[in-house]
Amino acid sequence: MSPARPSPGAQTSGEESISSRIARLGRLREALDGEDRKVFLADAVGKRLDHLWRTGGRDGATATGQRPTHIRIRPAFIYSRPSDEHEPVVPRLLRTQGLQLRMELLLLFDAQCRYGTSKVVRNPRNIVRRANDTYAGWRELVLTAVRPDGKTGRGGRPPRSTATLRQRQITEALAGLEDLHLVRIPRQPGGNRRYRDFQLLSEVANSELPDYTVPARGVGIPREFFTNLWVWVLSDAEIAVYLMLLAMRSVRRRRHAQRGVFVTSGVREDMFGLHRPTWRSADMLYRLRLVDRLPSTGRNFRTGKIGDARQHGEDARKPVVWYKINDEALHANALSTAWQVLTEPTEKDLVRRDRGPEAEKAPESIRDVM
């Protein structure tokens, strides 16, 4: 049986403070890769993900791989319909601690870069690359902001390295995905998990559903979301809101092209299972230019608050906020973009934040009168 819908308020993933965000970005920027510790981890992960997309990921491969323009996600991963007995998968992943959501998306990206539709996907990678492996280990595809605590282990062992901590994050994430029926991990005779042999299952996360196959249709995530590291730079809550807006665009393409899409609180909670703290993450997506938030009559643009007291009642019809997705923004490097916007904002960044995309795009000479 699939998990029942939780009561409102059960979701725990919310906003990340700006100071915490900057500290995390700093660790991502400074993390080093390899035994010689001379290469930035972010650069190395980006190159490996691009190689995976271009060739399918085998070491030394030069032939063209599947090269999907979009990673297709079955809708039930993101939202549920009124007739569904279970909630979508994304809010279940938001209630976990760790890499589960981002790891699941990475598994789907890897699968669709290597397989066409209808074929059962198999895992070619160890968590940590071994001497004779022809594919990078999962640890080489993951960018996280871990750092040793400096404490020695039992028997005076030295502190664990950042690479070892990333390995642990990945195995814990896979174990969490198994709990949600997103992967199946065989056991050794003693009961320990054989992570190398895990099997990716359908992203619908139903214990009765089969091994994963690439869908022919679905909600599309542009491949640059992965190759330019957005999957690792955005928070879980921001990813959840971004997926929701992608799903809204997929079913209302004409409206999105003409004016954008909006999500009422009822749709957001009932269909997508996302509560108000998570929805606030749309503001960071806007600041990073992944979406445009359009001005709404009756709302303060900066705060989103409604000025007319008569519109605060439960039965009052509140002005909606329209959003448009900017696919081209994904072409920029996520880590560089987020660092610049949050630590060295330009005048345009500040105008965008306070007054909206129309003011940002206007000539400097007329911004003050808009």
pLDDT, tens digit, 9 for 90 and up, residues 355-369:
888 888 887 655 554
SS3 252: coil
Q: Is residue 205 part of a domain?
A: yes
Which DSSP string corresponds to 3-54? PPPPPTT--------HHHHHHHHHHHHH-EETTTT-EEHHHHHHHHHHHHHH
Residue at 359 is within a domain: yes
Give yes or no for residue 350 having a pLDDT over 60. yes
Closest C-alpha among 284, 280, 328 to residue 263: 280
pLDDT tens readout for residues 305-347: 655 555 455 655 666 889 999 999 999 999 999 999 999 999 9
Residue 43 lies in a domain: yes
Q: What's the whole-number mean pLDDT along residues 251-265? A: 92
Structural domain of 323: 18-369
Query: What type of residue sits at position 221?
Result: I
pLDDT confidence tier of residue 37, bands split at 50, 70 and 90:
confident
13 part of a folded domain: no
Band the pLDDT of 13: cuts 50, 70, 90: very low
Residues 104, 177: contact at Cβ < 8 Å? yes
pLDDT of residue 148 exceeding 90? no
Confidence of residue 84 (pLDDT cuts 50, 70, 90): confident
Q: By CB neighbour count within 10 A (0-12 exposed, 13-18 middle, 19+ buried), where does 199 fall?
A: middle
Read off the pLDDT of each residue in 136-143 and give the average, rounded to a whole number.
97
Look at residue 359 in the predicted model and tell me its pLDDT.
86
Domain assignment present for 170: yes
- Contact residues for 33 (Cβ-Cβ < 8 A; gap 6+): 39, 40, 41, 43, 44, 45, 140
Asked which of 33-42, 169-178, 208-217, 262-271 is least confident by mean pLDDT, the reply is: 33-42
Judged against a pLDDT cut of 60, whether residue 252 lies above it is answered with yes
229 vs 154: which has the higher pLDDT: 229
Residue-level pLDDT at 281: 95
The verdict on residue 11 lying in a domain is: no
339 found inside a domain: yes
Give me the mean pLDDT over the 103-130 stretch.
96
**Model-level pTM?**
0.89
* Range name among 27-31, 49-53, 144-148, 338-342 with the lowest pLDDT average: 144-148
Residue 39: CB atoms within 10 Å: 12
pLDDT of 301 reads 63
Task: Please tell me the distance from the alpha carbon of residue 68 to that of residue 53, in angstroms, as a whole number.
Answer: 8
Q: At 146, which helix (H) or strand (E)?
A: none
Instruction: For residue 134, tell me if it sits in a domain.
Output: yes
Return the bridge partners of 220, or none: 72
Domain count, the chain: 1
